[in-house]
Structure 1
Amino acid sequence: MHDERERFLIRYAGGFAPFVVEKAEGAWLLTTDGQRILDFTSGQISSTLGHNHPRIVAAIERSLREVLHLNSWMLSEDVLELARRLAELLPAPLERSILLNTGSETNEVALRLAKSFTGKFEVVGLTRSFHGLLAGTNSVTFSMGHQGYGPLMPGSFAIPAPYEYRCPIRHCVRSCDMTCLDVGFDLVDQASVGSLAAMIVEPVLSTGGIIPLPAGYLRAAKQKCEERDMLLIVDEAQTGFGRVGSMFAFEQDDVVPDILTVSKTLGGGVPLGATITSAEIEQKAVDHDFLHLTTHVSDPMPAAAGLAVLDVLAEENLVERSRKMGGYLTERLRGLQEIHPQIGDVRGRGLLVGLELVADRETKEPANELGGAVTAECLRLGLSMNIVKGDGSQRNCLRLAPPLTITAEEIDFAVDILDTALRTCVAGLSEP
């Protein structure tokens, strides 16, 4: 198997798992060599309902019998119904959608809409952000992917992420007062050529280290944008459709973005995303000959899967379940923090939780070697989670994002494995 990987596949993210998956169901994976693994990453944080949920399978099977793919200017009933359902879920004026495939693509479209609507081109993002690795989105992804690929898009600005545990401007202690936002925009204003189009932000910087925006941050960011005639784009690829304990994370800040992007959690494991905006923004962009076209825009089959996801979220009350189980997971992890001094911080929202490992709680020195060792040991013991790399200098934050259908018993199983892995790896690394 190792030879096949080396011979036939392009390695795209540092390598592959040391096993091959035969079957996936619920929160569990079964490998070809018979190992059962509890998946606390929900696939690529996409299997909101767990792997191979029967309702998603049934929706796909129906689509295969009725209509799988169409020319991009032809629409199916499922596409129209999903667009209608999304508008019903969202506050005014968010009502017009384009159905796409990946988060990178939804953000690319959002940037194009913002530039078309405003007639400007500069975009502000946060350090530690991840919005995709396409040409435009990579330019405002500040956690990785910049070195070795040539120039970024002109007019791409980064401001400091509100990382409470490690204040980037050495100002706050444990509680962010958003000075970083003020200072960041002061710098942007001085560097701008007067063509600020949009700010793009994740409510929880997931790849950046599970950094939830502090209460009120999105509202303050929206005000900064309005003062400069910019649009606010909120990227809810990982936080939308219940994962953080509300249907959308922006609702927790009582603010409505100008453009919303969703993906991962909408498809339940199927490639599906949407860029959603107001009638005003859509109309002006169309008046300016807005263009975005891919082979699988508005495809029927992913739309059918998305409808199934929305149905199950409502019928099984999974948003509330995410809030409850997220609270239980955080409680169990904070219990581990009390007995493991290597756990410097536990943070997150709902079922998107980060656990940051440190060599010393006083200095907060990142325990990078321990992070890698614990992740590998957890996988050996039957728990899959991953390290998020922040700004690239750290490899010490463990990300836990189980499906919304996770049970308390499965959370206990995962935390027990994590406890064992920490004890084993700390002892191993401390040996002479």
Structure 2
Amino acid sequence: MESKNSLAIHGGEPVRRSYLPYGRQSIDEEDVKAVLNVLKSDYVTQGPKIIEFEQEVAQYTNAKFAVAFSSGTAALHAACYAAGITNGDEVITTPITFSASANCVLYQHGVPIFADIQEDSLNISPQSIEQKITKKTKAIIPVDFTGRPSNLDEIKSIAKKYDLVVIEDAAHALGGVYKGNKIGSISDMTMFSFHPVKQITTGEGGMITTNDRSYYETLMQFRTHGITRDRKDFQEDHGAWYYEMQTLGFNYRMTDIQAELGRSQLKKLDDFIEKRKQIVQMYHHAFSKMKELQIPSLKAGEQSSWHLYVIRLNKKTLSASRKMIFDALKKENIGVNVHYIPVYWHPYYEKLGYKKQTCPHAEVYYEEAITLPLFPAMSNEDVKDVIKAVNKVIFYYSKEKNV
């Protein structure tokens, strides 16, 4: 049964009649035609479109090499393998991320170590990284949360000091720029995700970019069962049909169907990001003076590809919990979400011995965060509906209003 307060807010019609998700793919007739052309071709799995997609992503990001995978998670796993992560190796990452950023370390029998976040950017803190380094540390996995690049200069400096590999989780940041350089060309390896809510989609899919040929060759072999067909690497050579499985790899391959969808989407990436920025500006304008909210802000010179727009609730000015406000927005048919539950709070990580209160800034952030809808197909009316719903709910629960 709903509380009286909930009935008071929702006694009339919700702001929207239909549900608005927090994220959604933008597929047009060009995308559909591109996929149909592949379905009518000789290749639907391992064909020329994968190579073309890899080359185009490498060119877009100014990286020397790119390797496509069946998912962003598979790509992260491959990167950990290429970095040589093995039994007991420690890898430092952020808790404010999807669990794959840490799970990829576990897949290699390594140990995820969680560093706290910076209060302003919400990205991993370089100072916290350095505090967590031990003799067992092998790599750092910074996450470009919401599309805002991590402090890559400081992280790379730390990595160089301690001889660590940097695997940048840029699942949110395709099209992002850091100090004039495209994300994807900066770290030892960079992972992109092509899940439907990301900047472009291949359905499921991921990519690693790198400037290191040895990483590139290892990634290529790992995604195909550990098999090579390169004759110069054979231990034996039985003939033109011959191939060798030289390591234990996985079937992490992308299909030509996915790759061609990705190629079609990549042509529109800059337009998608521009539309995201326009929506962000509408949100900024609407919420910047609301004392009940803290909105994301970039420092001078910073650029984001704006995968997510996260507001933080100022609990001192509100008479309701985050859950009450979240539920109230849902009842207005606004598809809010929360990104993310700290990874080490999940039951599986608790069973491994991880404890709460490991990263105080991350835990405070989690208790305050709500993600608003943000995707290129949103109309101005959609954005106005979100703004209207947020204003309606926050006004109702404002302590100042209820004095």
Normalising by structure 1, we get a TM-score of: 0.65
User: Are 1:185 and 2:136 counterparts?
Assistant: no
Code of the aligned partner of 2:205: L
CA distance in 1, matches of 2:99, 2:297: 21
The corresponding residue for 2:350 is none
Q: 1:415 to 1:103 in 2, by over 3 A?
A: same
- Equivalent position to 2:371, from 396, 399, 402: 399
Cα deviation code 1:176-199 (max 9, x no counterpart)? 9x9x523531431xx323xx4321
The corresponding residue for 1:364 is none
Code of the aligned partner of 1:36: S
- Deviation, structure 1 residue 344: 4.0
Alignment of 1:375-414 (within 5 A): 375-391=326-342, 393=363, 394-414=366-386
- Deviation, structure 1 residue 236: 1.3
SS in 1 for 2:390: helix
CA distance in 1, matches of 2:156, 2:295: 29
Q: 1:98 to 1:290 in 2, by over 3 A?
A: farther
CA distance in 2, matches of 1:313, 1:284: 28
CA distance in 2, matches of 1:298, 1:199: 26
CA distance in 2, matches of 1:298, 1:343: 41
Contact kept? 1:135, 1:153, Cα under 8 Å: no
- Deviation, structure 1 residue 355: 0.6
Q: 1:225 to 1:114 in 2, by over 3 A?
A: same
User: Are 1:262 and 2:192 counterparts?
Assistant: yes
- Deviation, structure 1 residue 399: 1.0
SS in 2 for 1:260: strand
Q: 1:55 to 1:292 in 2, by over 3 A?
A: farther
Code of the aligned partner of 1:259: M
Structure having the higher Rg: 2
Cα deviation code 1:92-150 (max 9, x no counterpart)? xx33222223222221111111117x9994322123233517843568xxxxxxxxxxx
Contact kept? 1:318, 1:404, Cα under 8 Å: yes
SS in 1 for 2:91: strand
Code of the aligned partner of 1:187: K
- Equivalent position to 1:81, from 52, 68, 72: 52
Question: What root-mean-square deviation, in Å, do the aligned CA atoms of Structure 1 and Structure 2 show?
Answer: 3.7
The corresponding residue for 2:93 is 125
The corresponding residue for 1:323 is 277
Contact kept? 1:108, 1:134, Cα under 8 Å: no
The corresponding residue for 1:23 is none
- Equivalent position to 2:38, from 47, 57, 63: 63
Contact kept? 1:356, 1:396, Cα under 8 Å: yes
- Equivalent position to 2:143, from 182, 198, 202: 202
The corresponding residue for 2:211 is 278
- What stretches of structure 1 of length at least 5 have no aligned partner? 1-33, 140-151, 167-175, 241-246, 362-366
- Deviation, structure 1 residue 373: 2.2
The corresponding residue for 2:268 is 312
Alignment of 1:316-355 (within 5 A): 317-335=271-289, 337=290, 341-347=291-297, 349=304, 351=306, 352-355=308-311
User: Are 1:303 and 2:259 counterparts?
Assistant: yes
CA distance in 2, matches of 1:69, 1:342: 52
Contact kept? 2:50, 2:255, Cα under 8 Å: yes
Q: 1:329 to 1:269 in 2, by over 3 A?
A: farther
- What stretches of structure 2 of length at least 5 have no aligned partner? 1-15, 222-232, 234-244, 299-303, 346-362
Contact kept? 1:387, 1:397, Cα under 8 Å: yes
- Deviation, structure 1 residue 289: 5.2
- Deviation, structure 1 residue 274: 1.0
The corresponding residue for 2:160 is 226
User: Are 1:110 and 2:79 counterparts?
Assistant: yes
CA distance in 1, matches of 2:117, 2:246: 35
Q: 1:63 to 1:426 in 2, by over 3 A?
A: farther
- Deviation, structure 1 residue 271: 0.9
The corresponding residue for 1:160 is 116
CA distance in 1, matches of 2:105, 2:177: 21
Q: 1:375 to 1:101 in 2, by over 3 A?
A: farther
Percent identity reads 11
SS in 1 for 2:259: helix
CA distance in 1, matches of 2:97, 2:29: 34
CA distance in 1, matches of 2:48, 2:165: 31
Higher strand share: 1
